[in-house]
């Protein structure tokens, strides 16, 4: 540490440099920017989900394409890309990083600044949505190579990416709730358990009309069923898109309402000073 | 609505006042400050008044309540009772205003290992509302101060403990705070790094007039740096004053005798020695207070030879803050630490 006589108060050029409230957008962009910078330094948080999505996309097509070939006007590749996308983006979040912040006390350092408490959480979520949107790209590219076509054009593709990213955010809320409530990395990893009922008790691999018995009943109440319907409708395009898209948005909205209520309650508990 | 989200975020300018009912000369004031954790009273009715520009040393063993005090004063914890104002604002009702005016380096360097040093400082600057140019200027000034060289552009995870401490201190200073809280800033540092931190603390105070609230368990640190010292034990302030005054209260010279055997006989014999003002026995040690140490040490040795204790060591020295702590609590500060750790 040098002992220069420079003035840290920085009064040399006139105005004194001093703290002031940064504003909500700056708070958000600062927290989101930090979270995004961390992603390429922590590729293990994003590479496995994309690999799993691409792997199951290819394997499922090879396994089930022939089985569904008897269904008229049905392309299994187009059908399956929605599932692949959800496999890729569900559970992708910076919640494990937030737990590390809590454990390393960096979270306390953030609380010592004037940053809005909600911005700490929402900033991470902004980063998550951006990451989820980017993760859909390689899966979509493989889909295009394998023959998937969006009849709704670029708008359909954008809608597909946006809806997938919103779902990713809604699901991430559960991870943040557990992260903020427990501060325990193992507990956050257990969010993975929610992944199974959401993504497998539904029309992930065959059309809903082909499901039978209890699985058909469960799928009826699974919000992912309607999300998949909405995503697949965006591939078809045209006027038929609005009803399934509305149902998909409603389903994502309901899940988001639950997960966001939980994670903001957990944030309140975490920043409570009493 | 998240707690405090609605607190003041519309300040007109940096360091604007707008304070009420507070003294303009006091940086930190507490009135009967209390903090409970369940049945445990970590801080139990603390009253302190720290004028602007002072280095206040808060001294006590582990578990005495030092860190709890810091957490309350820097708005991480709400008091259970009493009141505290920092930079003129109430920590409970105006925490956002307090945060704009303080810098804090907590006991463990609170850093993100996956950012570089300069990224961390820049982010701190953004969160404190500094403009891009202001951040560049401050990072450059602080980089020179903490002397990290090229390491500032490397991941914090690669830093040594001393480098992390220095970066943590820089992060606390990015926004030119009026008051800086340093919670055991040299714990775990090697002697060279410790001296560097001391030098920087002095410079911040002398050149910039920053008020510094320094908690420490190192007696020489409080003695070396603090204008005034508050000694806390079991959540209560047991003594407060300048290091010199506190040591004077113990006596001008101390003769310390490490002994084996029953000390009651020795205490009685020593009390009659000319020049001895006071004799206390503490766990195998006799502490003799005198104003004429060099003249009294020989008669003390002679008196001890006539008792049934075995003298293992006999030393003459001036009082330290540890002697103050011993006088007030009946135990050495280091022993209090050891007891705390073993319990």
Output the pLDDT for position B11: 43
A49-76 pLDDT per residue, tens: 999 999 999 999 998 888 777 777 788 8
> Which region, left, alpha or beta, applies to residue B18 given φ > 0 means left and ψ of -120 to 50 means alpha?
left
Q: How confident is the model at residue B23 (pLDDT cuts 50, 70, 90)?
A: low
Q: CA–CA separation, B267 vs B288, rounded Å? A: 9
Output the pLDDT for position B127: 96
The B residues from 273 to 312 touching A (CB cutoff 8 Å) are none
A22-32 pLDDT per residue, tens: 899 999 999 99
Most distant CA atoms of chain B, gap in Å: 77
Whole-model pTM? Answer: 0.81
Across B78-95, average pLDDT? 95
The answer for residues whose C-beta is within 8 angstroms of residue B172's C-beta and 6 or more apart is: B103, B104, B105, B180, B181, B182
Output the pLDDT for position A224: 93
| CB-based contact, A12 to chain B, within 8 Å | no
Q: How confident is the model at residue A15 (pLDDT cuts 50, 70, 90)?
A: low
What is the rounded average pLDDT for all residues in chain B? Answer: 85
CB < 8 Å to B194, chain A: none
Q: CA–CA separation, B110 vs A113, rounded Å? A: 13
| CB-based contact, A19 to chain B, within 8 Å | yes
Retrieve residue B149's tokens: 């060289």
| CB-based contact, B111 to chain A, within 8 Å | yes
Retrieve residue B60's tokens: 């006590």
Output the pLDDT for position A1: 52
Retrieve residue B182's tokens: 């340093």
| CB-based contact, A1 to chain B, within 8 Å | yes
The DSSP H or E segment spanning A242 is: helix A242-271
| CB-based contact, A167 to chain B, within 8 Å | no
Q: CA–CA separation, B148 vs B159, rounded Å? A: 10
Buried b (16+ CB within 10 A) or exposed e, B242-262: ebeebbeebbebbbebebeee
Axis crossing angle, helix B191-208 with helix B161-173, rounded to the nearest 10: 10
Strand-strand pairing, B179-183 and B102-105: parallel
Q: B343 CA to chain A: closest CA distance, Å?
A: 24
User: Which of the residue ranges A100-104, B114-118, B194-198, B271-275 would you say has the lowest mean pLDDT?
Assistant: B194-198
Q: A241 CA to chain B: closest CA distance, Å?
A: 37
* In A40-94, alpha helices (H): 47-64, 76-89
Query: What ipTM was reported for this prediction?
Result: 0.85
Q: How confident is the model at residue B335 (pLDDT cuts 50, 70, 90)?
A: low
Output the pLDDT for position B281: 87
Is the pLDDT reported for residue B162 higher than 60? yes
Strand-strand pairing, B81-86 and B285-290: unpaired
User: Which of the residue ranges A13-17, A194-198, B35-39 would you say has the lowest mean pLDDT?
Assistant: A13-17
Is the pLDDT reported for residue A9 higher than 70? no
What is the rounded average pLDDT for all residues in chain A? Answer: 88
Could you write out the three-class secondary structure of chain B?
CCCCCCCCCCCCCCCCCCCCCCCCCEEEEEEEEEEEECCEEEEEEEEEEEECCCEEEEECCCCCCHHHHHHHHCCCCCCCEEEEEECCEECCCCHHHHHHHEEEECCCCCCCCCCEHHHHHHHHHHHCCCCHHHHHHHHHHHHHHHCCHHHHHCEHHHCCHHHHHHHHHHHHHCCCCCEEEEECCCCCCCHHHHHHHHHHHHHHHHHHCCEEEEEECCHHHHHHHCCEEEEEECCEEEEEECHHHHHHHHCCEEEEEEEECCCHHHHHHHHCCCCEEEEEEECCEEEEEECCHHHHHHHHHHHHHCCCCEEEEEEEECCCHHHHHHHHHCCCHHHHHHHHHHC
Residue of A nearest to B130 (CA): A19
Q: CA–CA separation, B25 vs B3, rounded Å? A: 30
CB contact under 8 A, B3 and A41: no
Q: How confident is the model at residue B154 (pLDDT cuts 50, 70, 90)?
A: very high
Q: Which residue has the higher pLDDT, A211 or A107?
A: A107
**Is the alpha carbon torsion for A104, B83, B93, A113 positive or negative?**
negative
Output the pLDDT for position A29: 96
**Is the alpha carbon torsion for A22, A23, A25, A31 positive or negative?**
positive
Q: A94 CA to chain B: closest CA distance, Å?
A: 13
| CB-based contact, B132 to chain A, within 8 Å | no
Q: CA–CA separation, B251 vs B9, rounded Å? A: 52
* Measured CA distances, B330 to A153, A198, B107, B279, B324 (Å): 83, 64, 27, 13, 10
Could you write out the three-class secondary structure of B239-292?
EEECHHHHHHHHCCEEEEEEEECCCHHHHHHHHCCCCEEEEEEECCEEEEEECC
- How big is the CA angle at B55 (ends B54 and B61), to the nearest 5 degrees? 140
A117-136 pLDDT per residue, tens: 999 999 999 999 999 999 99
Q: CA–CA separation, B252 vs B292, rounded Å? A: 8
Q: Minimal CA–CA distance to A271: which of B157, B86, B76, B114?
A: B76
A154-166 pLDDT per residue, tens: 999 999 999 999 9
Output the pLDDT for position A7: 37
Q: Which residue among A5, A42, A108 places its CB closest to the CB of B207?
A: A5
The answer for residues whose C-beta is within 8 angstroms of residue B219's C-beta and 6 or more apart is: B59, B320, B321, B322, B325, B333
- Coil vs helix vs strand at A264: helix
């Amino acid at each position: 540490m040098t002992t220069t006589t420079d003035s840290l108060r920085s009064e040399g050029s006139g105005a004194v440099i001093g703290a002031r409230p940064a504003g909500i957008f700056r708070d958000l962009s600062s927290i989101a920017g930090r979270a995004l910078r961390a992603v390429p330094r922590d590729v293990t948080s994003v590479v496995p989900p994309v690999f799993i999505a691409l792997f199951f996309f290819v394997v499922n097509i090879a396994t089930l394409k022939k089985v569904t070939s008897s269904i008229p006007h049905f392309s299994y590749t187009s059908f399956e890309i929605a599932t692949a996308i959800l496999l890729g983006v569900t559970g992708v979040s910076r919640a494990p990083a937030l737990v590390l912040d809590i454990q390393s006390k960096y979270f306390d350092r953030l609380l010592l600044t004037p940053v809005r408490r909600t911005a700490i959480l929402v900033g991470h979520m902004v980063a998550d949505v951006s990451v989820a949107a980017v993760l859909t790209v390689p899966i979509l590219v493989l889909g295009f190579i394998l023959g998937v076509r969006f009849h709704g054009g670029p708008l359909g593709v954008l809608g597909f990416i946006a809806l997938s990213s919103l779902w990713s955010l809604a699901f991430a809320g559960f991870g943040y709730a557990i992260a903020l409530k427990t501060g325990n990395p193992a507990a956050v990893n257990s969010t993975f358990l929610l992944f199974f009922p959401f993504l497998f008790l539904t029309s992930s691999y065959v059309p809903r009309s082909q499901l039978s018995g209890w699985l058909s009943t469960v799928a009826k109440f699974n919000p992912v069923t309607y999300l998949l319907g909405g995503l697949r409708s965006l591939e078809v395009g045209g006027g038929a898109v609005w009803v399934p898209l509305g149902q998909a948005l409603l389903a994502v909205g309901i899940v988001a309402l639950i997960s966001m209520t939980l994670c903001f309650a957990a944030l309140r508990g975490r920043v409570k000073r009493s | 609505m998240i707690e405090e989200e609605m607190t003041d975020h519309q300040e007109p300018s940096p360091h604007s006042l707008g304070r009420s009912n507070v003294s303009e000369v006091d940086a930190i004031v507490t009135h009967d400050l209390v903090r409970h954790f369940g049945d445990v009273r970590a801080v139990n009715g603390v009253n302190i008044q720290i004028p602007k520009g002072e280095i206040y040393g808060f001294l006590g063993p582990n578990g005495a309540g030092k860190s709890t005090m810091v957490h309350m004063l820097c708005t991480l914890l709400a008091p259970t009772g009493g009141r505290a104002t920092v930079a003129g604002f109430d920590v409970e009702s105006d925490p956002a205003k307090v945060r704009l005016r303080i810098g804090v380096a907590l006991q463990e360097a609170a850093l993100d290992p996956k950012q570089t040093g300069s990224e961390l400082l820049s982010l701190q600057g953004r969160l404190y509302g500094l403009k891009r140019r202001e951040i560049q200027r401050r990072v450059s000034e602080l980089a020179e101060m903490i002397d990290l060289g090229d390491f500032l552009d490397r991941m914090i995870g690669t830093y040594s403990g001393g480098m992390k401490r220095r970066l943590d201190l820089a992060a606390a200073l990015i926004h030119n705070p009026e008051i800086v809280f340093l919670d055991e800033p040299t714990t775990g540092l090697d002697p060279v790094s410790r001296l560097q931190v001391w030098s920087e603390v002095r410079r911040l105070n002398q050149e910039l007039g920053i008020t510094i609230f320094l908690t420490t368990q190192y007696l020489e640190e409080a003695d070396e740096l603090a204008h005034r010292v508050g000694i806390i034990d079991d959540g209560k302030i047991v003594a407060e004053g300048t290091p010199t005054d506190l040591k004077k209260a113990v006596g001008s010279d101390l003769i310390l005798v490490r002994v084996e055997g029953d000390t009651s006989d020795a205490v009685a014999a020593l009390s009659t020695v000319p020049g001895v003002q006071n004799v206390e026995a503490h766990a195998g040690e006799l502490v003799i207070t005198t104003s004429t140490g060099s003249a009294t040490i020989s008669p003390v040795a002679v008196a001890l030879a006539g008792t049934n204790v075995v003298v293992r060591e006999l030393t003459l020295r001036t009082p330290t803050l540890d002697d103050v702590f011993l006088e007030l609590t009946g135990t050495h500060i280091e022993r209090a630490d050891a007891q705390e750790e073993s319990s």
